[in-house]
Amino acid sequence: MISCLIIDDEPLALELMVDNVSRVSFLRLEGTCNNVIEAMTIMNEKQIDLIFLDIEMPSVNGITFLKTQKVSPMVIITTAYEKYALDGFELDVIDYLLKPIGFERFLKAVSKAAEYQCQQTNQSGNNGIKYLFVKSEHRIVKITISEIRYIESMKDYVKIYIGEKPIYSIMSMKKLEEILPSNEFARVHRSFIVSLSHIDFVGKSKIVMESASIPVSNYYRESFLKLLKNE
């Protein structure tokens, strides 16, 4: 779950953002405010993972606010002006949304935030991540890591096998390989990543798990066997 804060001095824009947030299952709205002074109070009281930040506001504008933050949550800029785009990306914002903001564009931006959060958790040395978010058929789907049996690449998309029905996503195998815990998942073929916990047995050139038979290529075989032996 991503806890978020909306900072915007336009009532209609604020109302639209609240509605957008309510439509995404992995977002939790912790508060709204119309200036950065109020925002700083909320941030001191609550854990905020993501800020939706307007730029032109009374007292202190959004860019100035970002520059004063030593440690900042993820930020998605929401503004009616294109001229701040360079400033925003120099400050490493997740995305830059131009008003009026449609839901599809909003969903794309928060998907980036969810993916970034997942990557940061993994890169921080925590190989025990519990879940990840993937975009699938115009939705963002939360996937529990332990339920993934294997992943198959189908050129332009991947099939993530969970239970009986796979989940289709446009994420790349390389990106999934970076996100998934390296001590729990292994690339065994150009087209396959497998969960070690779901393997029944390993043959000379294949892996068998439940009703699936996964090929193991010569290129990946040595590193895969080393992982199995904890070398």
Confidence of residue 211 (pLDDT cuts 50, 70, 90): confident
Angle at 76 between CA 72 and CA 79, to 5 degrees: 125
What is the location of CATH 2.40.50.1020 in the chain?
A: 129-228
Describe the chain by its helix, strand, coil percentages, rounded to 5: 35, 30, 35
206 half-sphere exposure, CB direction, 13 A CA radius: 7
Confidence of residue 164 (pLDDT cuts 50, 70, 90): confident
- The fold adopted by the segment(s) 2-121 is Rossmann fold (3.40.50)
pLDDT of residue 176: 86
Residues 121-156 pLDDT 10s:
655 544 567 777 777 776 778 888 899 999 999 877
29 versus 123: the higher-pLDDT residue is 29
Q: Mean pLDDT of all residues in the chain?
A: 86
pLDDT of residue 126: 46
| pLDDT above 90: residue 52 | yes
pLDDT of residue 159: 93
How many percent of the chain have pLDDT more than 90? Answer: 40
- Highest mean pLDDT, choosing among 57-61, 74-78, 174-178: 74-78
Nearest to 51 by CA among 9, 107, 93: 93
Please tell me the class of the 129-228 domain. mainly beta
pTM as predicted? 0.59
What is the location of CATH 3.40.50.2300 in the chain?
A: 2-121
pLDDT of residue 158: 92
Work out the average pLDDT over 57-81: 81
